[in-house]
Chains A and B, each alone.
Chain A
């Protein structure tokens, strides 16, 4: 499976088939999710109408962690098996993950103003999400900091693996520390502690965001593969030009002799 899609052309062929489906699925699920979230779900008995922000906030936060986990996995695959597409997959995922993290922070702060009375508090969950945002930015910056693109990808892969320590810290920060942020209520051993009328729109938008990720990922992947190909072409062009130059100068030398 891993080896089969090491070939970019084969990967692109598969991507062509998946991409329209991902797009359709995203739009349908998002429309349904928004309908449920805005019109067909009750306001919370404590939070009132602001609870509807959650239907964007929670899926974005899940996607932020999900993207970083994927980033760590692709980095591991790139380092262990030297898989040619794994580095590109990391490059394609990082900006999407950074945007989801940003979205989670922004929506959380918009929700926090009416609920907690402040845009921002320095509690464990918020701070660790903020760190995650900077880990994404560090990954993106490190990738482009070298003249040699492949070297940049390898350095960034090591950083992604080191930064992965932060993901369990974010996940369990609400259980380990007493914080303002509420603890997990969907994934629990005792079953979800959230009513089905609220769970439906939440799961719909979460799935829509997953589909959205796949859609954007495939678009980014196409760009990354094209860029890698351009670079390879440029290098071979320069090499050919140099070979031709050496050949003509050799011929001239031979003529002079």
Chain B
């Protein structure tokens, strides 16, 4: 039995130590906003924040997470998250939406660390997140927009 801190709440899980966080979130915990895409940290659909850092939950065993703050799309909040969601809405980013939880988590982590990212910063932070609908041009615009909204 491991206790995880997920979205500010202590959650006891029965999964074995080697279970990747993704499957604990989606299975036992029932938080399905974090998506399964590849299982190899190649696509970013499973991105969550661990102590504020964008992390691929599909290869992160829960044994490494005791005492860490885990944030999923369901618990993503605060001024940066608000700005990102507002920008995503204004630019009409989403299509099928399956990858978007991961895109938002990566974008928020980027903006937390770098409030004024340039295009190269966006390439660096977002190229691990695949979108088969091809929302990339709008994600790029929306990140710039979110930075602008946040700046006020």
A binds B: no
Interface residues of B (CB under 8 A from A): none
